[in-house]
Each structure stands twice: as C-alpha cells, then as structure tokens.
Structure 1
Amino acid sequence: MTLVKLTSVAVLAVALSACQSLFAPNYRAPLEVKREAWEHVKPGCSESDCPLVNIDTVHFPDLPKLDAIVESRLLQLTEDNQRSTTPTSLKAYETQYLASAEKRNSSYLQAKVREQHDGLVIVEFSSYLDSGGAHGMPGRAFINYSRKQDKVLTLQDMLVAGQEETFWKTVEESHRAWMISTGMDKDAEFVKTWPFKKSPHIALTYGAVVVKYEVYAIAPYSMGHIELKIPYPRLNGVLKPELFPGRG
C-alpha cells in the first residue's frame, strides 16, 4: 500500500513538472516585434526646408512594459533640445518640437531590435538633431532587456562582483587594438587628443560584447560612432556566466 502511494506521488510530481515546462516562457523564441514609423512637418509649412520630426520605433505586443521603456529611452535622446521638462510621449515631443523649430531644423529618433538571444532583447537607439548648422548631432544608446529577470540590465547586473575595473581594462585593450588597426596609434596628436574613455553604451550581442561611443568621445566626428567588440572568452570570470550566449 505504501509503495502504491509513493508511486502515485512520484507520477503526480512528474506530471506537475511537465505542466510547468509546458507553460513556462520559451526564451529561445524571440518576442514579436512590430515597427511603427512616421514623419511630420511643421503644420502650415509648405516650403522645401520645413522643420520635421521623423520617428521610427518598435513595439512588443506581448511585453507592453518594454514598450514603455523603449519610449522613455527615446525621449531621453531628445534632451539636446534644451527644454526644461522631458515630454511625456513621442507625440507630445513632436508637438513641442515643431511648435518652436525653425526652417532646416529636423529631429530623427529611431529604436530597433539589434538582436534577440538567450532571453535577451537588445534594442539600439539612434537620434539625429539638425539645427541648421554644418552638420547635425547624432546620438546612440542601447538597452539589454532580460526577459528572465524582467528588467533592463545595468553594467553591475552584467558583471561578476568586483570585476568592473577588469572589464574596463579589457575594453581599453580593445581600444588599443582598434588604434593599431586604424593606424592612429602612430599619430601622436591623435593619441593625445583622443584618449580612451569609458562608455555607457554596452550591448550583449551574440557574437561579442559591444561597447559603442558617441561622436567626439574617442575620435573626431568624421569617424562616426566607434564600436569596440570584446569576444566573450576574454571576459571569463568578468561577465556573469549566465550571460554568455548558450549558457542561459
């Protein structure tokens, strides 16, 4: 009788485990992504150089929380417009911008999914604010959203405790390799003017950890947004093991 009861309990446990697996989120399957894009010029303007706002963003039907995060991050990229308060929405931003923008002024904002892997959604943000000068000012940003942890990962979330200094030394080594590959290491004036710096723009892409830089951060405007790529094996003991592709 006891054996029968134990067997029944074991069968029930297996059945419950199977049910949990059946209904657990499948992090290998990417989230559905929907694109939304529009461009509007200043109301009443019919000239060739009307001020305009161009928005190109993404939505996640199954994860509205991430929608809100993406919109908030895009709005942070508009802070170059020197307003006293951040708009509450992209539509509100468009209205405020076009109300005061002059001819030849334009604002471009984009959010796109760069990659999805291992339960991570990596969104890359781009902005371009043209105030009518010789060239506009571009901006970049990333978020690494963990579906498993249900949050945007900070650098501290990514790294093993106490390994931040080692991480940046590794990035600096990649910067040195980039300097050599471009031949800039032989230009003493360049080396002096554009030293290595840290960047807040980090992406856990499948092929490597990407550290991206704003223009004028470590190179002149003409060289664009520099990307340093650090292979995962170089971050053993530095990056949390579960964030290595395939280990999660």
Structure 2
Amino acid sequence: MSLLKFASMTCIALTLGACQSMFQPSAPKPLAFTNDASEQVKAGCTGQECPLVNIDTLHFADEPKLDALIEHRLLKMTVNSPEEAMAPSLNAYREQFLRTADSRNSTYLQAKVREQHDDLVIVELSSYLDTGGAHGMPGRGFINYSRKEHKEVTLQDMLLPGQEQAFWGAAKVAHNNWLISSHYGSDPEFVKNWPFEKTPNVALLKDNVALKYDVYSIAPYSEGHVELKIPYSRLKGILKPEWLPAKG
C-alpha cells in the first residue's frame, strides 16, 4: 500500500473533519496570558554570593490545564537524578532550594510563549542551575498545546502510524544541514565525537518543525542549545495531515 493511500485511509477512519489542517487561514485570537516573575535570595543573606531563585512563568486565565502543565514541566526540569523527588509546586521548590543552597548557588526557571498560531500555543521552557562551578547547567523544553483539545500534543500525536523512523531520518538531514552551515561538517573529529541524536524537544512552529537540543548532546557546551529546523515539505506522509499547513 502506498504511503499516500495509507494517509488517506487514516483520514477516512478518523471523525469527520479531523484531517483538515489545523493551520487555518483565519487563526483564532491569541490566547491571553500574564507573566509572573520573581527573584528571591536566601533570608538573612547579603552580598553577591547569596543563593537566589529566579522564576519567570506564565498564567493563562482561560486555560488552567496549560497553567498546571507549565508548572509541572518546569518542576520536572529541576530534578537532576532519579532519586530526587520533585517539589509539589514552584513555591515549594523555591523555599526548599533557598533553605538548602550553598553560597553562589542559584537557579532560574522560565516559561515563555514562543509562538501562537492557529489552534496551537507553543511554550518554550528554560532552566539554569548554578552550583558554583565553572558554569551552570541549562535546560530547554517545549509544550505544544492544543486549545481545541485542551491538552499537550506529543510527537506520537503528530506522527502517522509507523513513521517515527522516517521523522528522525528527516531530523538527521536537518542535522547534516546544520553541520554544513556551521562548518563542522568538514571536521571529521567533530562529526565522530558529536553524532546525531534524538531529542524530546519538538515544536510545531508556524513555518517549520523545530528540534531543540540540550548542551553536550550533539555539540560542546560552547554551542549552547542547538536548534534544528525541518521544513513541513519534508514531512508529508510522516506527520498526520492535520499537522501540515493547508498551503502545503
């Protein structure tokens, strides 16, 4: 069975209208949100080396599920080992960190709206933990939130059945393009030491699918969070039709 025929049969099997592109010409009004930013140092401490917690998050009055999801994902980014328990709330995490942190320790958590388009709100998550070493450890993540379904859209939700390998094949092509554009492709030692890897950080942006990588995953710390971009044109027959732009 051809891939195109399979995709068409998949659409027929779904409810009426489910295979219409989520990328509609008349996008809904952006979802309103407020920023909630705070910075707090350890009680009774003065000077430049006081432990501090900086939290910059978002609140969506009309989407409480998204609020809860953002808090959960930020808290998950604070867990650094399998034995470490996740704090029940951002406030609890702040209190716990400041109570136990040593001098020069700091932590930073941020949620920001990367894009709003069509049915989706794309939230980018950032973390940074400094324990007084040469440099801190940053982290990144994405939430693809469907306003229509009131839930996160995962990679498995995006893909047609059996297409995960093809998706990562397209990602590897994007990685090769990044190697060439960054001039690392001509360095055999770099290619050997920093091979392509999968990442859990996938975002359905308006113009492409973005993959964000943690430091030390496919490049040295100095390269920061490498972001690969896959054109939607490469993902026909891989993504479910509703996640492809209508113009495509």
> Given the two structures, how large is their TM-score scaled by the length of structure 2?
0.86
| CA-CA distance at 1:84 after TM superposition | 3.0
1:223 and 2:230 aligned:
no
1:75-86 mapped onto 2 (5 Å cutoff):
75-80=75-80, 84-86=84-86
1:139 and 2:126 aligned:
no
Q: 1:16: which partner in 2? A: none
Q: 1:153: which partner in 2? A: 153
| CA-CA distance at 1:80 after TM superposition | 2.2
Q: Secondary structure at the match of 1:80?
A: coil
Contact 2:34 2:59 in 1 (8 A): yes
| CA-CA distance at 1:82 after TM superposition | 7.7
| CA-CA distance at 1:203 after TM superposition | 0.3
| CA-CA distance at 1:49 after TM superposition | 1.1
Give deviations 1:62-81, integer Å, cap 9, x for gaps.
11111000000000010127
Amino acid at match of 2:240: K
CA distance in 2 between counterparts of 1:43 and 1:246 reads 54
Give deviations 1:175-226, integer Å, cap 9, x for gaps.
0111111111111111110000000000001111001100000000000100
1:61-80 mapped onto 2 (5 Å cutoff):
61-80=61-80
Give deviations 1:8-46, integer Å, cap 9, x for gaps.
xxxxxxxxxxxxxxxxxx961111011000000000101
Q: 2:101: which partner in 1? A: 101
Q: If you compute each CA radius of gyration, which structure gives the higher value, 1 or 2?
A: 1
CA distance in 2 between counterparts of 1:95 and 1:82 reads 21
Q: 2:56: which partner in 1? A: 56
CA distance in 2 between counterparts of 1:106 and 1:245 reads 42
1:198-237 mapped onto 2 (5 Å cutoff):
198-237=198-237
CA distance in 2 between counterparts of 1:82 and 1:126 reads 20
Amino acid at match of 1:140: R
Corresponding pairs, count: 222
Q: 2:130: which partner in 1? A: 130
Contact 1:30 1:117 in 2 (8 A): yes
Contact 1:118 1:246 in 2 (8 A): no
CA distance in 1 between counterparts of 2:154 and 2:148 reads 14
| CA-CA distance at 1:244 after TM superposition | 2.1
Q: 1:32: which partner in 2? A: 32
Structure number having the greater helix percentage: 1
| CA-CA distance at 1:245 after TM superposition | 3.4
Contact 2:63 2:150 in 1 (8 A): no
1:176 and 2:179 aligned:
no
> Given the two structures, how large is their TM-score scaled by the length of structure 1?
0.86
CA distance in 1 between counterparts of 2:246 and 2:104 reads 48
Q: 1:5: which partner in 2? A: none
Contact 1:117 1:245 in 2 (8 A): no
CA distance in 1 between counterparts of 2:83 and 2:51 reads 17
Segments of 5+ residues of structure 1 without an aligned counterpart are 1-25
Q: Secondary structure at the match of 1:238?
A: coil
Q: Secondary structure at the match of 1:79?
A: coil
Segments of 5+ residues of structure 2 without an aligned counterpart are 1-25
CA distance in 2 between counterparts of 1:27 and 1:61 reads 20
Give deviations 1:94-121, integer Å, cap 9, x for gaps.
0000001011110000001101111111
Identity %: 59
| CA-CA distance at 1:237 after TM superposition | 1.1
Q: Secondary structure at the match of 2:219?
A: coil
Q: 1:132 to 1:56 in 2, by over 3 A?
A: same
